[in-house]
Amino acid sequence: MDFTFSPQHAALRRMLRDFCQQELRPRAAQVDHTGQPDREILRWMGELGLFGVPFSQEYGGAGAGEIGYCILMEELNRVCPSTAAIIGAHIGIAAMSLYLDGSPALKRKYLPDLCAGRAIGAFGLTEPNAGSDAAAIQLRATLEGDAYFLDGQKMWITNGPIADLVMVLAVTDPALGAHGGATVFVVETNTAGFSAGKPEKKMGLHGSPTSVLNFDDVRVPKENVLGQVGLGFVTFMKTLDIGRVSLGAATLGGAEAALQASLRWVKARSQFGRPIANMQSIQFMLADMATEIEALRSLVYRTAWLVDTDRPFVKEAGMCKLLGSETASRCIDRALQIHGALGVSREFHIERGWRDARIGEIFEGTNEIQRIVIASELLQEIGVRIRP
């Protein structure tokens, strides 16, 4: 067994740590206050190849694999969860679905722009009547001649208002429904009939715009079918499986930031004549945080290694998202408690971290859905098949 990172992954982390601490951290509060993504830093990140970290260099990616991508998400989320959410939706689910199942021609057409950050991607699955029950989607795609026409609505789509390309799951055969009758399309957002709604007002991730997407007879050429007609649901579920690993890595970064802030504060703050680090109840919180973080780190990077070495990883990926989001929520909640009144101050970053972390338990499959995924994998191992 070898738990060390390869020299190139260590070098990648060094660069990311420097970039995030020096360039991204100073802008994180502003991004949250204004609710505006920082276009300048996104452009810079594109130039540094951060929009295509896991993908092969053949398509303009960095070729750093799932491990490299997890390092990116961990470092981003440590300082600016809003920016991490933008990149997570862009790479982890939008570009990833194209990378996994797109034809070489479609990949050549769109991946280089996605990897360079010249085009921002979004992943359109959720609809007003299809949340956890993703198979209940209704957005219709009808074939007329050499193009499909899309009609319907998507909801809660990260990057919706800023996306250039949206991967959309639509029903192509209502008789079959999602299982066998749904198809993924790459939609250019400047196409007539497409519009994005106003950003939702969320408790956290203010700098990561999420919105409704409206499709009013949007024409999509046949060549923009991603993967096979009818098998789109499989593509999207596969994509979400992988996405859970990097989401776990992001939550790891959030939890680590909470612990680091706490360690600084317990040393600096004195009450009853001594630093609060001397109080056992504080020490126990620190010990619990550090222990959970260490467990999460092992799980996340081992699962990333499973992905990079083509081993089965679906059960572990669900665990990454489940353990990660709950660990991050617990850690930032303890950090808030440790900071006392400063913890709830809007002038300080703990409150922002607390708001940002909670969303991790909801999106990309609620934690209830993760438990279902993990249980169904477990039961399948003993020959029992379940349906949610």
Partner 1 sequence: MNIVVLLRALRDPASFSVNRRAQKIFVHRDLHRLNPADHNALEAALALAGASAGGSVAALACGGEPAGEALYQARAMGAGRALWVKDEALQPADGAVVTRVVQQALARLGGADLVLLGADVLDADLAQVGPRLAAAQGWPFVEAGYRVRAAPASQGRLQVVLAKPGGYQAVEIGLPAVVSIAVDSNKPRYPSAPSIMRAYADLQALDVVSPAELGLDQAALAARVDRLGESFPPERTFGERLEGTLGDVVAQLAARLQR
Q: Which residues are catalytic?
A: 364
Shortest distance (Å) from residue 33 CB to partner 1: 26
Q: CB atoms < 10 A from the CB of 293, how many?
A: 19
Which CB, 14 or 198, lies closer to partner 1?
14
Which CB, 307 or 359, lies closer to ligand FAD?
359
Residues 38-97 that bind partner 1 (CB under 8 A): 47-50, 52-53, 57, 61-64, 68, 72
- Contact call for residues 223 and 105 (beta carbons, < 8 A): yes
Secondary structure of the chain: what % helix, strand, coil (to 5)? 60, 15, 25
- Contact call for residues 379 and 146 (beta carbons, < 8 A): no
Which CB, 7 or 104, lies closer to partner 1?
7
For partner 1, the binding residue among 15, 136, 176, 386 (CB under 8 A) is 15
Neighbour-count burial for 256-272, b at 16+ CB within 10 Å, e otherwise: bbbbebbbebbeeeeee
Which CB, 150 or 266, lies closer to partner 1?
266
Q: How far apart are CA 22 and CA 19, in angstroms?
A: 5
* Nearest residue to ligand FAD on Cβ basis: 131
Does position 260 bind partner 1 by CB under 8 A? no
Residue 37 binding: pick among partner 1, ligand FAD, none (C-beta 5-8 Å cut-off by kind)? none
Q: Is 297 exposed, middle or buried (0-12, 13-18, 19+ CB in 10 A)?
A: buried
Residue 14 binding: pick among partner 1, ligand FAD, none (C-beta 5-8 Å cut-off by kind)? partner 1
- Contact call for residues 93 and 239 (beta carbons, < 8 A): yes
Shortest distance (Å) from residue 46 CB to partner 1: 10
Shortest distance (Å) from residue 327 CB to partner 1: 23
Interface positions with ligand FAD (CB under 6 A): 89, 123-126, 131-132, 156-158, 202, 205, 210, 359, 362-366, 368-369, 388
Q: How far apart are CA 377 and CA 30, in angstroms?
A: 42
Q: How many residues bind partner 1 (CB under 8 A)?
A: 22
Contact range with partner 1 by CB under 8 A, out of 4-12, 137-145, 296-304, 376-384:
4-12
Q: How far apart are CA 352 and CA 332, in angstroms?
A: 10
Q: How far apart are CA 90 and CA 164, in angstroms?
A: 11
Q: How far apart are CA 61 and CA 64, in angstroms?
A: 8
Shortest distance (Å) from residue 285 CB to partner 1: 23
Residue 362 binding: pick among partner 1, ligand FAD, none (C-beta 5-8 Å cut-off by kind)? ligand FAD
Which CB, 111 or 187, lies closer to partner 1?
111
Shortest distance (Å) from residue 115 CB to partner 1: 9
Q: Which residues pair with 148 in a beta bridge?
A: 143, 220
Token pair 């970290």: residue: 53
Binding stretches for partner 1 (CB under 8 A): 6-8, 11-12, 14-15, 18-19, 47-50, 52-53, 57, 61-64, 68, 72
